Amino acid sequence: MRTFRIVWLGQIVSLLGSGLTNFGLGVWVFQTTGSATLFATIALFSILPSLLIAPFAGVFVDRWDRRLTMLGSDVLCGLAVLVGAYLVWTHQLVVWHVMVLAGFTSACSSFQVPAYQAAISTLVPKEQLTKAAGMVQSGQAVSDLASPILAGAIFSAIHLQGLIVLDFVSFMVGVLSLAFVRFPKPKSKEEKSAEKPRFSEEIGAGWAFIRERRAMLMLLGYFAALNFLLPMAGVLFGPLVLGFAGSVGFGTVMSVMGAGMLVGSILISVTGGLKNRLLGVFLGGGLIGLFMACVGLRQDLVWIAASGFLCMAFSPVTNASSQAIWQSKVPHELRGRVFSVRRMIAQGTAPIAMLAAGPLVDKVVGPMMMPGGALASTWGRIIGTGPGRGAGLVFVVMGLLTLVVSILFYITPRIRRIDADVPDAVSSHESWRQQ
């Protein structure tokens, strides 16, 4: 796993730098506009482009060298970050610039993410896939934990443009980590075949693989449901906390939540996760929903931080378990396409939630949760009324729905037979052996 560890460390540094910029820009947008809708729109631009081009990107990921694909994506993201630094430095930055830059880096991620996911199963043994997925999750957790602390500590000294320059440096570290390693490249059936499939056929291959395996399709449906319910509340987290605590409180809570994700990721990395990976998916998902509902119950920083810590601690359990299932059951030559389609469908519901969340709180639930509002005498008695309580109610409702959906999917017989119905495509040594 030496090559994997080098790449993993480089990606952690890159994520940390991106976290600095994302935190600084998020606070800047909300403090500049005061709009939950615009705050949510930035999040939408950070995901929508990658979903729209995912099927096409997946074909190229399977055609191209995956290391070079990741390398090129990091270089392009680094250049976009430099453009952002210039706009800030010359005092030209406006909200639509943030949207464009977020959209561009999102498009780059549609190549980088499936290439990284597909490469992992060629770098580590099958038995270590859940552990490797936990390590990848820990990289995101380190970013979530350290970025708010570092951004808050150095923001006053080097300002937003300084944070963005640090982000560029972090991308270059990711580039260097990829420049000095090589990835094994198993021969695929398509490479051995004299006749290459047409581009249009390759686009449909990823969806065909999933459609023909009903248990995998149902697992994908579960994550599509989660990626509607969780982002509906998630994009409102900034307004929920900033509405009563300010940027310092927001940064503190974000760091505590990042610590929760880091703890969960370390446990997965050390233990390898639950032996029953499907149980890990749904147990983690249900507990995420339960503690997300707790986040919205009280307008208290300690309560929100504790609930957020527990919520994020179970996120790696769900994600690493799911990732290990997909990596073990998808053949090498199809991983780029399958993982791209998987990402497009699983996360395709998130933009709908993000579009709806801001107006829902600003125009509907927020006013209803103010003193004297339509919900003040019912839900208001439970979670309180006033600024930010509309977002709190969304957290409670979406969290409880996530818990219910997790239970319903887990008790479905078809999805519980996934290991019996869908055999592994990777043997115990085939996933890492140079061929």
- Residues 90-112 have pLDDT tens digits of 888 888 888 888 888 888 888 88
Per-residue pLDDT at 363: 83
Indicate which CATH number applies to the domain containing 397.
1.20.1250.20
Report, as an integer, the average pLDDT of 120-140.
Answer: 75
Residue 16 has pLDDT above 80, yes or no: no
Per-residue pLDDT at 432: 38
Per-residue pLDDT at 311: 92
Residue 405 has pLDDT above 80, yes or no: yes
Indicate whether 426 belongs to any domain. Answer: no
Residue 309 has pLDDT above 90, yes or no: yes
CB 168 within 8 A of CB 78: yes
Indicate whether 191 belongs to any domain. Answer: no
Per-residue pLDDT at 430: 43
Report, as an integer, the average pLDDT of 377-381.
Answer: 86
Alpha carbons 435 and 431: distance in angstroms, whole number? 10
pLDDT band at 154 (very low <50, low <70, confident <90, very high): low
pTM value surpassing 0.85 = no
Indicate whether 24 belongs to any domain. Answer: yes
Count of domains in the chain?
Answer: 1
Report, as an integer, the average pLDDT of 213-224.
Answer: 90
Per-residue pLDDT at 288: 95
Report, as an integer, the average pLDDT of 288-314.
Answer: 91
Report, as an integer, the average pLDDT of 396-410.
Answer: 94
Look over the chain and give the mean of its residue pLDDT values, rounded to a whole number: 79
Q: For residue 11, what are the contacts with CB-CB under 8 A and spacing of at least 6? A: 116, 136, 139, 174, 177
Per-residue pLDDT at 222: 94
Indicate whether 187 belongs to any domain. Answer: no
- Residues 17-72 have pLDDT tens digits of 777 777 777 667 766 776 666 766 777 777 778 777 877 777 788 788 888 888 88
Domain housing 311: 2-181+203-421
- Residues 329-363 have pLDDT tens digits of 888 778 778 887 887 888 778 878 877 877 888 78
Residue 373 has pLDDT above 60, yes or no: yes
Indicate whether 197 belongs to any domain. Answer: no
Amino acid, res. 180: F
Indicate whether 427 belongs to any domain. Answer: no
Report, as an integer, the average pLDDT of 177-203.
Answer: 66
Per-residue pLDDT at 91: 80
Indicate whether 265 belongs to any domain. Answer: yes
Per-residue pLDDT at 404: 96
Percent of all residues in the chain with a pLDDT value above 70, rounded to a whole number: 84
- Residues 226-265 have pLDDT tens digits of 988 888 877 778 778 876 776 677 778 877 887 888 888 8
Indicate whether 295 belongs to any domain. Answer: yes
Per-residue pLDDT at 39: 66
Per-residue pLDDT at 196: 61
